[in-house]
Structure 1
């Protein structure tokens, strides 16, 4: 698996790998909705942003993550972030996550467009497994992941500790290479409805 750090785009979004030039736009996009950050492993709004940003850049330098700014094509605004991370070339697997969209960008074409691009990039690079995880107390996120066509693989108990100190159970999902053609067709059909 050879995941390259490059721009990914379709007619809805442009995913731009983090660079220092994007820092201010990403900061502005994430500095909202504190309640949404409460259930995340790490926070990236307000005073939390600098440490989060530095950690993302360090993981990119180490080759374990590709963090993207999500730019909405309709108006050119950066409206969130998403990542390919836990990149394990030897096992040909990675995760999609660290995803946050501004409230006004939720519920439309942005999330399926991002997932279509990220999944396509991973499987075209030779991945055999792409994982997507979420907090088990977030049923809306779990439903959105199932809607992608990912398979539910159960709950990892006491899997992570969030930035607030809460011990989190994690709902685990995955899409395998043999699932990709059906998942891709489903995503393409969903995105065609937004044309």
Structure 2
């Protein structure tokens, strides 16, 4: 399994691997909603952006992450970020996450479009398992993951420490290669409703 850092695009979004020309637009897109960032293990908001940017680039260079800027094609706006990370070729698995969208990009076509592209990219690269983790308290995120058709595998107690220092219980979901055709069909049906 080798997950390449390539542009992924469909009718609604273009996922662009992080490169320097995207940095300022990405910083602006992420510098909002401190209460949402408080649920995450790391933060890309405000003064923390530079360290977050550099850490993702370092992991990308090491082959353990592909960080993407999310561009909404209807207006060309950069509306957030998402990643394939904790890439483990020896186990043919990775995580899909480190996802943050501006409020105006939530609840519509952006998230299912991104998930469709990223899951396809991972499974076409040979993944057997794609994990999606979120704060157990993040009801909005959990609902979106469940709507995808990912399997809920349980809550991992005290699994992460958020950047604010809170010990976070983490809800674990996964899409397995054998589930991908059904999940793909479900996502395609949702996306067709936007066509």
- TM interval, shorter chain, is over 0.9
In the TM superposition, what is the alpha-carbon distance from 1:122 to its structure 2 partner? 0.3
Under a length normalisation based on structure 1, what TM-score does the superposition of the two structures give? 0.99
Partner of 1:86: 86
Q: State the shift of 1:40 in Å.
A: 1.0
User: So what's the TM-score if we normalise by structure 2?
Assistant: 0.99
Q: What's the counterpart of residue 147 of structure 1?
A: 147
Q: Distance in 1 between matches of 2:105 and 2:23?
A: 19
The alignment of Structure 1 onto Structure 2 pairs a total of residues equal to 195
SS at match of 2:188: helix
**1:39-73 alpha-carbon deviations (Å, 9 max, x no partner):** 11111111110110011111101110000000000
Q: Does residue 123 in structure 1 map to residue 123 in structure 2?
A: yes
Gaps of 5+ in 1: none
Q: Gaps (5+ residues) in structure 2?
A: none
CA drift of 1:25 comes to 1.0
Regions of 4+ moved over 6 Å: none
RMSD over equivalenced CA pairs, Å: 0.6
- The answer for the alignment partner of 1:37 in structure 2 is 37
Q: Who is 1:23 aligned against?
A: 23
Distance in 2 (alpha carbons) for counterparts of 1:118 and 1:107: 18
Residue number in structure 2 paired with 1:185 = 185
Whole-angstrom distance in 1 between the partners of 2:43 and 2:4: 26
Distance 1:168 1:157 in 2: 7
Structure 2: how far apart are the matches of 1:190 and 1:59? Answer: 32
